[in-house]
């Protein structure tokens, strides 16, 4: 079957090679220190998020050529979440953003971005830092009773490798099973006490036309405030953080012309495509 599929696809792959180039740039925007005064080090341009953001900018992790994920990341900041932000962002990130620093209008804009097909990456440590998710009906519960968690699927296994255990620190919350289920979400990880630490909504899960959303109930899984992740080189928390973003972008390697990401389009890419297709990548 594989040989027959390879033969059938080979001509089509070469025919399409001239137009099936790299994916578009994925634009992530988050609150600046101006928008994030209550804990500015956790702002998207703050000190504690700097290493995570630098890893997303690193061309050997995310770029259009010979990178782990064949998509470039463009990071940006906003001083106020409004309609202009919606036009500039594929993904809005909220890194432990205090409810006191947002207005109801900004929470609505964040929800509107999601309802309209945009993505959300929310690090909501407690019930005082979850305004957008609360607006969407998925508030964070304070506080979790266990700070380590793991699973065997995304985002613990992804293009950046396998994570054996993720460490949370500081304020750590959890999500309600009822809230996640009622909004169409999927549980990705629980801690040792059975509390939900990570949940995911794929395109259309929340409502028709909605985008992707990931809620992690501790920003310090990816921030360096407590020294949990390293990104150069990657440790478990670092791999977890980059796999999160890769999951929002989409399955890496599925239906790309340069399937093996070696910068050359040839028959090896057809073999790679067939292997990933038969493995469920379509």
Query: pLDDT over 90 for what percent of the chain?
Result: 77
Residue 264 falls inside a structural domain: no
Q: What is the pLDDT of residue 64?
A: 87
**Is the pLDDT reported for residue 167 higher than 70?**
yes
Give 239's Cβ-side CA count (13 Å radius). Answer: 19
Residue 161 falls inside a structural domain: yes
Residue 54 falls inside a structural domain: yes
For residues 116-130, average pLDDT? 97
Please state, in angstroms and rounded to a whole number, the distance separating the CA atoms of residues 117 and 133.
Answer: 16
Find, among 163, 275, 151, the residue nearest to 230 by Cα: 163
Q: Tokens 């600046």 — which residue?
A: 32
For residues 91-118, average pLDDT? 97
Q: By mean pLDDT, which of 30-39, 43-52, 194-203, 248-257 is the weakest? A: 248-257
Give the contacts of 242 (CB within 8 A, at least 6 positions apart): 55, 56, 61, 68, 158, 159, 160, 231, 234
Q: What six digits make up the tokens of 210?
A: 């909605």
Query: Vertex 167, ends 166 and 169: CA angle to 5°?
Result: 150
Cβ–Cβ under 8 Å, residues 142 and 126: yes
For residues 47-60, average pLDDT? 98
Residue 279 falls inside a structural domain: no
Find, among 119, 72, 112, the residue nearest to 93 by Cα: 119
Please state, in angstroms and rounded to a whole number, the distance separating the CA atoms of residues 278 and 274.
Answer: 6
Residue 43 falls inside a structural domain: yes
Residue 263 falls inside a structural domain: no
Residue 37 falls inside a structural domain: yes
Question: What is the number of domains present in the chain?
Answer: 1
Confidence of residue 57 (pLDDT cuts 50, 70, 90): very high
Phi, psi of 26 (to 5 degrees): -100, 120
Confidence of residue 23 (pLDDT cuts 50, 70, 90): low
**CATH code (residue 93):** 3.40.50.880
Q: What is the pLDDT of residue 66?
A: 85
Please state, in angstroms and rounded to a whole number, the distance separating the CA atoms of residues 192 and 167.
Answer: 12
Residue 275 falls inside a structural domain: no
**Is the pLDDT reported for residue 30 higher than 90?**
yes
Give the helix/strand (H/E) hosting 56.
helix 50-57
State the burial class of residue 10 (Cβ atoms within 10 Å of its Cβ: 0-12, 13-18, 19+): middle
Confidence of residue 263 (pLDDT cuts 50, 70, 90): very low
Q: What is the pLDDT of residue 250?
A: 84
**Is the pLDDT reported for residue 120 higher than 70?**
yes
Q: What is the pLDDT of residue 9?
A: 35
Mean pLDDT, the chain, rounded, equals 86
Range(s) of the domain holding residue 203: 2-8+24-250
Q: What is the pTM of this model?
A: 0.82
**Is the pLDDT reported for residue 166 higher than 50?**
yes
């Amino acid at each position: 079957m594989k040989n027959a599929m390879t033969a059938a696809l080979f001509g089509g792959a070469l025919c399409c090679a001239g137009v099936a180039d790299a994916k578009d740039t994925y634009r992530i925007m988050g609150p600046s220190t101006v928008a994030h005064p209550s804990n500015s080090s956790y702002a998207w341009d703050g000190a504690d998020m700097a290493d995570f953001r630098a890893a997303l900018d690193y061309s050997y992790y995310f770029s259009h050529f010979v990178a782990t994920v064949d998509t470039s990341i463009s990071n940006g900041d906003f001083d106020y979440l409004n309609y202009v932000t919606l036009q500039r962002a594929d993904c809005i990130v909220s890194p432990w953003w205090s409810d006191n620093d947002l207005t109801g209008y900004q929470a609505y804009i964040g929800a509107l971005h999601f309802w309209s097909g945009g993505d959300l990456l929310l690090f909501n440590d407690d019930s005082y830092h979850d305004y957008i998710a609360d607006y969407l009906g998925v508030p964070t519960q304070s506080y979790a009773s266990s700070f380590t968690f793991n699973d065997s699927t995304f985002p613990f296994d992804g293009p950046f490798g396998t994570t054996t255990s993720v460490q949370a620190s500081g304020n750590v919350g959890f999500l309600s099973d009822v809230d996640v289920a009622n909004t169409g979400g999927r549980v990705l990880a629980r801690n040792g006490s059975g509390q939900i630490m990570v949940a995911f909504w794929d395109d259309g899960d929340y409502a028709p036309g909605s985008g992707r959303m990931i809620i992690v109930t501790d920003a310090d899984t990816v921030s360096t405030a407590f020294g949990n992740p390293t990104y150069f080189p990657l440790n478990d928390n670092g791999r977890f953080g980059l796999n999160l973003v890769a999951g929002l972008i989409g399955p890496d390697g599925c239906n790309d012309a340069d399937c093996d990401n070696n910068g050359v389009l040839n028959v090896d890419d057809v073999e790679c495509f067939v292997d990933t297709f038969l493995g469920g990548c379509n």
